[in-house]
Structure 1
Amino acid sequence: MQRQQIQPYLLVLGLALTLSSCFTEPNYSNVPEISFDRVDRYTIEGGQGVGRSRRDSVIVVINFKDGDGNLGNDIPISKPDSARYASNGGWGNYRIRTFRLINRQYVEVPLTVNRTLYFPDLAKGKPSGAIEGPLEFDQIFQYGNSFQIYPTKFQIQIRDRDLNESNVIETDTVWLPYPR
């Protein structure tokens, strides 16, 4: 009778050991790698009052892979970390450059809101090791009283806490309002 009671536990233990031995951690580079997933644009209709004008919300989704999982920072970012990023290229851990089509050529539009960007620690509270997943960034483009619609695309790059920079990716084109 005792043997019959032990057998189910041994079966569960054997199954657990078999499944856990099937998982092997990915072997990614410690330099982050990103790929473009999608860019979505949603128009938000205007409402009553100041600051409630019609606007477009743009959401850029990228996928990342990193071998040591040191992507992102504690938010708000500490002064020493901020200074370290600033002294190494003048940008945070997320860089997005905006380009709009003018006279059949994409021209960079330096937006103040994109000057220094940070995303949170993507592996906070987890053991160090390979990580992968999506990363979303959203931005608002106001229509205002006088605007013009331009085809727009973005170039994106990230870097880890060791300042290893990823590859640069480019998004598809979306049409967005800019003040005249």
Structure 2
Amino acid sequence: MNYMLKYSLACVVLVLALASCRKEPNYPDEPQISFKRIEQVSHDALGIEKDSLFLIVKFQDGDGNLGLRPLVKNPQTDIDSQTPFNEGSIYENNFIIKVLRARPDVNNPGELNFEELQFPDGLNLNGRFPRISNDDREEPLEGEIRLALEITNENEFYYAVGDIIKFEVFIYDRTTPVPNKSNVIVSEPITLFTE
């Protein structure tokens, strides 16, 4: 038993020594993101083409204030529903997406230009991703945000079979009074409704 305690204690000391040697990363307070991948599953639902997309973005943030809780009806009860994150604010959503659709380049046959797809007022793919950390402690964080999107060809004004699109993305943190904006990234292109 003494033998076991002696070596167990040595292992615990070694683990603590190695853990204390680990240096915390030094990231800026403004979030930094990079494109990781898009996962795509195409299927036909009663004659309507559907793509289930998962957009995966890597992040790093120096103070760890990423993510927002869902909006609540009574904003006084939750800071994530108050100004500047309140409903209707430009910071209501913290994951901002533009859809870029390929069009033939009239000046260079065989080449493509990507143009922003214009939605009617009030429609977009923006969203709120949840808090990454459950406390308000300032600490560096890194990881991935995985956003699920459903795209259909129900309204041909938006998407058609064979459209080539990519996404332009940035995120906001919870800094007040003005949230920090991350860098802007662009995903790899995908062809819709083809799998």
For Structure 1 versus Structure 2, the TM-score category normalised by the shorter chain is 0.7 to 0.9
SS of residue paired to 1:55: strand
- Aligned-residue identity in percent: 28
Picking from 181, 185, 188, the partner of 1:165 is 181
* Letter in structure 1 aligned against 2:14: L
C-alpha distance in structure 2 between counterparts of 1:9 and 1:141, whole Å: 55
Match of 2:36 in 1: 37
Cα distance 1:126–1:9, how it changes in 2: closer, same or farther (>3 A)?
farther
**Aligned partner of 1:46: which letter?**
A
Q: Gaps spanning 5+ residues in structure 2: where?
A: 106-112
Following the alignment from structure 1 to structure 2, what is the Cα–Cα distance between the partners of residues 128 and 98?
33
- C-alpha displacement of 1:20: 1.6
Letter in 2 for 1:108: E
Question: Partner residue of 1:11?
Answer: 10
The 1:18–1:102 alpha-carbon spacing in structure 2 relative to 1, beyond 3 Å, is: same
Q: Partners of 1:154 and 1:46 in 2: how far apart?
A: 24
- What does 1:1-180 align with in structure 2 at a 5 Å threshold? 4=3, 7-47=6-46, 53-76=48-71, 79=75, 81-82=80-81, 83-85=83-85, 89=90, 92-104=93-105, 105-111=113-119, 112-114=123-125, 116-125=126-135, 127-144=137-154, 147-162=160-175, 163-176=179-192
SS of 2:17's equivalent?
helix
Offset at 1:113? 3.6
**Distance (whole Å) between structure 2 residues aligned to residue 155 and residue 145 of structure 1:** 22
Identify, as 1 or 2, the structure richer in helix.
1
Match of 2:109 in 1: none
| Structure 2 Cα separation of the partners of residues 157 and 176 of structure 1 | 22
Change (3 A) 1:150 1:125: same
Aligned residue pair count: 171
5+ long unaligned stretches in structure 1: none
Deviation, 1:59, is: 1.4
Relative to structure 1, the CA distance from residue 135 to residue 170 in structure 2 (aligned partners, 3 Å threshold; closer, same or farther) is: same
Q: Give the Cα–Cα distance (whole angstroms) in 2 for the partners of residues 150 and 5 of structure 1.
A: 65
What whole-Å deviation, never above 9, does each CA across 1:102-132 have from its counterpart, x for those lacking one? 2332111134142x41100011148430110
1:136–1:117 CA distance, 2 compared to 1 (3 A): same
Contact 2:84 2:92 in 1 (8 A): no
Q: Taking structure 1 as the reference length, what is the TM-score of the superposition?
A: 0.80
- TM-score under structure 2 normalisation? 0.75
For residues 113-159 of structure 1, the C-alpha deviation after alignment (integer angstroms, 9 at most, x for no partner) is 42x41100011148430110111112111133864431101100001
1:97 alignment partner AA: K
Q: Secondary structure, in 3 states, of the residue corresponding to 2:164?
A: strand
